[in-house]
A and B are shown apart, each in its own frame.
Chain A
Amino acid sequence: MSKHDPKLLLQSAPLLRQGMTTPAAMRDVWIALLPASLAALWYFGLAALLVLLTSIAGAVLTEWLFTPRERRAITLHDNSAALTGLLLGLTLPPALPLWMAFLGGMASIGLGKIIWGGLGSNIFNPALVGRAFLLATFPNAMTTWTAQSGPADFLTLHASNLALPFMQAPTVGAGTDAMTTATPLNLMKFEHQGTDLGALLLGNTSGSLGETSALLLILGGIYLFLRRGLDWRIPLGILGSAALFSAALFLIEGDKYPTPLFSLLSGGMLLGAIFMATDPVTSPVTPKGAWLFAIGVGLLVVLIRVFGGFPEGMMYAILLMNAATPLIDRYTQPRAFGRKRATK
């Protein structure tokens, strides 16, 4: 009479799950990046589209190549490789040769992710690893900024976009020099010249594809926040500490240093604070750790921008704090319930 019931599963509790899944979380980031990506197309035309697509292609192809066959279905399904490619693409200058964008996508995934054991195991933000690699490898191409073409010349392409693989952008002369412009950060660093805040908000300045429009980035951030897709402490901590630091500098010597508002709206500050630093894999998992991390990023950005050699320091600030994340996590373990204080 006593028989084992073969039809019954024996999965252990809990059987209930909340609705969010990892691929869905990644999709949310895609949606949040949509306005900024569309703005890139609006401002920079077809070139932007091509750069974004090639960097995504480089990332996805590398992911596919180096993932063991049996895990491909899962890793490609989680949307993360393509997201890395898109994030990288948004940090690139519009006139970048496409082969470099492709290589950057490969470096992002190869050096930033696969080597470490795939999604979730990496210490550094893969997109920024790709960008740091490109910036160190092709410093000239990566700091050549072109003026916006605007929607009227949507189809215009930069000759440099189509450079042959491993070759330089074809023309370096008066023709291209006329097209290149300085980003707001360049103007600030080297000429101590501010940029109209309205332009910074809307995004009709030069810069990397996804960083120009502060307004649309904030919009994406709000969407992500509402979807619980980001740890609000990180953007808040970064922007807050950066604003305080630059406000202090501005008060000391106003004609030399930028206003805090300029600091927050210019360059990759918002793109980094909202979309890069908040990458959960590479930021601390504990709330206290998130604050420390964010403050560290904020201070480092201003330090590098103001006292360092680069006009923009967001990428380096995030990478450096990524490196410190294991330590931060270790020393900010939450105080376990009923225990005196946090132990390491």
Chain B
Amino acid sequence: MSSRSPTPPQEPTPSRLVGSLAVAGFLSGLIIIGIYVATLDTITENKARELREAVFRVLPEVTQMQKLQYDGERVVLKENGKDDENTLYAGYDDKGNLAGYALASDGPGFQDTIRVLFGYQPANNKVVGMWVLESRETPGLGDKIYKDAAFVTNFDNLSTEPPIVTVKRGTRSRANEVDAITGATISSKAVVRIINQGVEKWHQRLPLPGNEPQLKSEGRT
């Protein structure tokens, strides 16, 4: 099967080895940059759309949004660049009034890290919506944290003062209580804990009423 090389084996010079590697690397780099450039716009657009959908889901009556960044002292506008743990999003209604912030928070769930985005209105200490960005919870049980509409709507109008607690399904009576999912108590509690942590982290950082960041560019959605 093996085909014999027609030329006698000859030790190539080191420079030739390095050279061929360099050429391969160069060509590969070219191809990669090519595909990157070709797909960049679509990918950026996809990501932006996905983000927008998520933000609109957790903040009611929002039609416009912008990305903000906490720089260690205050929240400032951030046009683009990578997201990190200090990134947040502000949502505005038709008239450009601030409707609330969309905050990301994560923490350990039943199986793996759960990442959620939740809508928050600091003025009245309220969570107004929750959306799971990422989770590997058990199908059929833990995944109800995003599949079970009844659970998700728990977070549509939830007081965070005192912090949110989970209660047995059907016994919800106070403004800060969440009905746990039967059989997936751990996942339910994990979501609540993650949101509580997010609230705790962001509550002090968010600007006071009156100092809210204004929607910068009109019409930007």
Q: Do chains A and B touch in the complex (CB under 8 A)?
A: yes
| CB <8 Å contact, B140 and A140 | yes
B183 — which chain A residues lie within 8 A by C-beta?
139-140, 143-144
Evaluate contact between B185 and A190: CB separation under 8 angstroms.
Answer: yes
Residues of chain A lying within 8 A (CB to CB) of residue B140: 139-140
Any chain B CB within 8 A of the CB of A309?
yes
Determine the residue in chain A with the shortest Cβ distance to B185: A190
- What residues on A are CB-neighbors of B141 within 8 Å? 139-140
Band of interface residues on B: under 10
Residues in B neighbouring A139, C-beta threshold 8 A: 138, 140-141, 183
CA of A309 to CA of B137 in the docked complex: distance in angstroms?
12
Q: How would residues 171 to 200 of chain A score, 1 for a CB under 8 Å from any chain B CB and 0 otherwise?
A: 000000000000000000111000000000
The answer to whether B186 has its CB under 8 Å from any CB of chain A is: yes
Q: Number of A-B pairs whose CB atoms are under 8 Å? A: 16
Which residues from 123 to 182 on chain B have a C-beta closer than 8 Å to any C-beta of chain A?
138, 140-141, 168, 180
Size of the chain A interface, CB-CB below 8 angstroms: 8
Q: In the complex, A309 Cα to B185 Cα: how many Å? A: 9
User: B110 at interface (Cβ–Cβ under 8 A)?
Assistant: yes
B108 to chain A, nearest CB (A): 10
Q: Which residues of B contact A191 (CB under 8 A)?
A: 168
Q: Report A220-277 residues with CB < 8 Å from chain B CB.
A: none
Bound CA span A190–B186, Å: 9
For A136-155 the 0/1 string (1 means CB < 8 A from B) is: 00011001100000000000
Least distance between A257 CB and chain B CB atoms (Å): 17
Distance of A189 Cα from B110 Cα, bound (Å): 15
Q: For chain B, residues 183 to 212, give those with C-beta under 8 angstroms from any C-beta of chain A.
A: 183, 185-186
Q: How far is the CA of A115 from the CA of B141 in the complex (A)?
A: 30
Alpha-carbon distance between A144 and B140 when the two chains are bound, in angstroms: 14
Alpha-carbon distance between A140 and B182 when the two chains are bound, in angstroms? 9
Q: Which residues of B contact A190 (CB under 8 A)?
A: 168, 180, 185
- Chain B CB within 10 Å — which of A139, A144, A191 has the most? A139
Query: Which residues of the other chain, B, contact A189 by a CB distance below 8 angstroms?
Result: 185
Shortest C-beta distance, A76 to chain B (Å), equals 36
Q: A174: nearest residue on chain B (CB-CB)?
A: B170
- A11–B168 Cα distance when bound, in Å, is 70
Q: Tell me the minimal C-beta distance from B150 to chain A in angstroms.
A: 13
Cα–Cα, bound, A275→B110 (Å): 29
Question: Which residue on chain B has the smallest CB distance to residue A182?
Answer: B168
Q: In the bound complex, how far is the Cα of B110 from the Cα of A139, in angstroms?
A: 14
Interface residues of B in 64-96 (CB under 8 A from A): none
Q: List chain A residues, Cβ under 8 A from B180.
A: 190
Kindly state the separation between the CA atoms of A191 and B167 in the bound complex, as whole angstroms.
9
The contact string, 1 if C-beta is below 8 Å from chain B, for chain A 110-146, is 0000000000000000000000000000011001100
Instruction: Tell me which of A189, A190, A309 has the highest count of chain B C-beta atoms within 10 A of its own C-beta.
Output: A309
Q: How far is the CB of B171 from chain A (nearest CB, A)?
A: 11
CA distance A117 to B186 in the complex (A): 38
Q: Which A residue sits closest to B184, measured CB to CB?
A: A139
A and B contact pairs by CB, cutoff 8 A, 16 listed: A139-B138, A139-B140, A139-B141, A139-B183, A140-B140, A140-B141, A140-B183, A143-B183, A144-B183, A189-B185, A190-B168, A190-B180, A190-B185, A191-B168, A309-B110, A309-B186
**3 closest pairs, A vs B, by CB?**
A309-B186, A309-B110, A139-B141
Given A189-B185, A309-B110, A309-B186, 13 other A-B contacts at CB below 8 A? A139-B138, A139-B140, A139-B141, A139-B183, A140-B140, A140-B141, A140-B183, A143-B183, A144-B183, A190-B168, A190-B180, A190-B185, A191-B168
